[in-house]
Homo-oligomer: A and B are copies of this chain.
């Protein structure tokens, strides 16, 4: 059976139209890295990224110096936002910026939404959302006197639109959910949940951290009001890369974010008295844009735009489907459960495996060059990034995990 699976990995690699992309990433020696399965935490760097960053430091920063701001940098937050919107978010130009961190952008957008609906006093979110989303909203609720309404999500299941329908009402200012759940990998039905929330007159905000660059997104078509996400997972922007924010065009003039800094001003270099927000998405900016940290995005968006998000998704489903097959065949006999959806239409880009004591497997896995993610209390997340991961790599990684399970005294 193992031979059949190995042959299948090889066949999937041979038939993979994205196989060539993998060679464009910086690759550590095989002795150090056998299998990288954590693309949903930190994507790998492209060779083009290293080259572009070096050129940027020497020629742009070092050569153009302060002139760089006039010669293009000032436009990067909206330019890269528009490129990201086109390549990954289904967002027409003028609604997306790259800036800050996901956390800061959640704060800015959620505050703007709450302030825009002062007659509504609740915000709906779910107990399994990513910690920073929950923590930020707790803070906003405390400062604005809002009540948080929690949907109890089973971590091994997604958000049912019916659950949302039960809790939204005329008092709901905002709902905030993740497109792909960070633990289970459940893929939410954004369009349907938006319909439910909008029927109650609430604004909708989506955290796209675990889907952007992996799962096709249609923000405009799905009626999303607000969205945020990071660029360091499937978008390979590097550790702590800037985040992005989307505000639906119709809301850009209405919503006002609370950190009103010079870069969101209508006339940045007038430096006059009194803040006046810029037209459009620029008003989402606050401080000086993190230009150096944005350089990798240029290279990554080149690749994503060339390949197409649909091709990425097609490979992603084959990769996670292969993970499920290997888990069923190799790991289930050792008590490993799959806690992610088997239905491809509800599965994001990663698969979580659960077993008591999985925490103790992390170090031996790393020591063997196999790098999944660990999520308390006993989950291993397998997140094979389609652009940089081969099927044979998935095979190798789970083979090592199986061998550790074989040796486990339990």
- Which residues of A line the B interface, CB within 8 A? 25-28, 32-33, 36, 38, 41-42, 44-45, 49-50, 53-54, 57-58, 61-63, 65-69, 73, 100-104, 106-107, 115, 127, 130-132, 134-136, 138-139, 143, 230, 232, 238-243, 258-263, 265, 269-275, 286-294, 296, 366, 371, 373, 375-376
Contacts and interface: CB of A to CB of B under 8 A. Distances in A.
A134 B273 CA distance: 8
A33 B291 CA distance: 22
A192 to B, nearest CB: 27
Contacts of A260: 135-136, 138-139
Contacts of A127: 273
8 contacts: A61-B239, A103-B288, A130-B271, A134-B273, A134-B275, A138-B260, A290-B290, A290-B293
B54 A103 contact: no
Contacts of A106: 261
A239 B139 contact: no
Given A61-B45, A65-B36, A271-B376, A132 B261 contact: yes
A-B pairs with lowest CB-CB distance, top 6: A101-B287, A103-B287, A103-B261, A239-B291, A26-B62, A135-B275
Contacts of A296: 292
A103 B61 contact: no
A52 to B, nearest CB: 10
A265 B131 contact: yes
Given A240-B292, A259-B104, A293-B292, A57 B65 contact: no
Contact of A50 (B58, B138, B275): B58
Contacts of A366: 67
Given A100-B287, A104-B287, A240-B292, A262 B36 contact: no
A376 B271 CA distance: 8
Question: By DSSP majority rule, is chain A's interface helix, strand, loop, or mixed?
Answer: mixed
Contacts of A103: 259, 261-263, 286-288
A9 B131 CA distance: 58
Copies of this chain, tallied across the complex: 2
Contact of A65 (B33, B67, B131): B33
Nearest to A64: B28
A118 B119 CA distance: 25
Contacts of A230: 288
B100 A100 contact: yes
A173 B63 CA distance: 44
Contacts of A50: 54, 57-58, 62
Contacts of A289: 240
Nearest to A99: B101
Contacts of A262: 103, 130-132, 135
Nearest to A294: B240
A30 to B, nearest CB: 12
Contacts of A58: 26, 45, 50
Contacts of A61: 42, 44-45, 238-239
A102 B66 contact: no
Contacts of A292: 238-241, 292-293, 296
A365 B289 CA distance: 26
A63 B101 CA distance: 24
A345 to B, nearest CB: 27
Given A50-B58, A103-B262, A290-B293, 7 more contacts: A42-B68, A44-B65, A61-B239, A136-B260, A240-B290, A241-B290, A241-B292
A376 B242 CA distance: 31
Contacts of A107: 258-259, 261, 286
A259 B68 CA distance: 31
A288 B106 CA distance: 13
Contacts of A290: 101, 240-242, 290, 293
Nearest to A383: B66
